[in-house]
Chain A
Amino acid sequence: MEEKNIIIFPQGIPGFEKYRHWNFVIEEEAPLGQLVSVENEYIGLVLTRPEIYFADYLTEIEKEIGLDTQEILETKENTELNVWNILCIAEDIMETTINLKAPLLINSEKSIGYQLILNQEKYESKQLLFSHQNMKENREGVTG
């Protein structure tokens, strides 16, 4: 079973500013989600939960969630925000990158989303999802 609901992005998503309504589907088996534009069903984004591959990420970005972001997301003191990051899937899955520079923050209670662009230089918009260590093991597995 999949959970399905429509999230409104009041600011749009950079590159897709005119599409404000997105269908958000969370997968159960894999840590994946999909956002598909309600206005244009040919536009979709694949998302993952960042903490699975980048352990400190959530604590690191918390300090960048400012008043401007909180206002857009209509958060209250104890609102729980869900964080998802967009994947750029490559034909060779080991080349798949994750956009850590601009996480999607979702206030599920209100169904509002916002793509926050971090000022921190340490996070990149094209970070390899699978570490080099994983990549090595995988390649060895294939040849051996």
Chain B
Amino acid sequence: MASVSTLPPPPAPIAGSVRYPLLERAVALELWGGVLVSAPLLVLGALLVFLGGVGTLSPSPPTHLTTGLSAGAWGAGLLYGGVLVLALTPVARVGVSAVLFAIKRDFRFTVITFTVFVLLVTTAVGGIYG
């Protein structure tokens, strides 16, 4: 019978630091893209809300998107879209990272990143329908 001391050692850990320039580039571009899309929507939306004379500090439900064709309604819709794009940007960043870790065949981090993505979606969906 083999004693404990003769069991094979655990696999050697990988040493050193690992950086994937492609992943860093993709994450930076995705985040910057989120800023570039949301910022004009937010600025234009705020301007139209003021031009339409419907500015308010009260909460705005998503139905603002379909309440008419006035400048104010358009502005509220654009503001809503800007905030939505901004809120989706970090979630999309996790999705992009999962795909790129998979492309790099870094399976440990593909699993970790996919787990984060599932937890995020579960929290968001649970919060909305819960």
Asked whether A and B interact, the reply is no
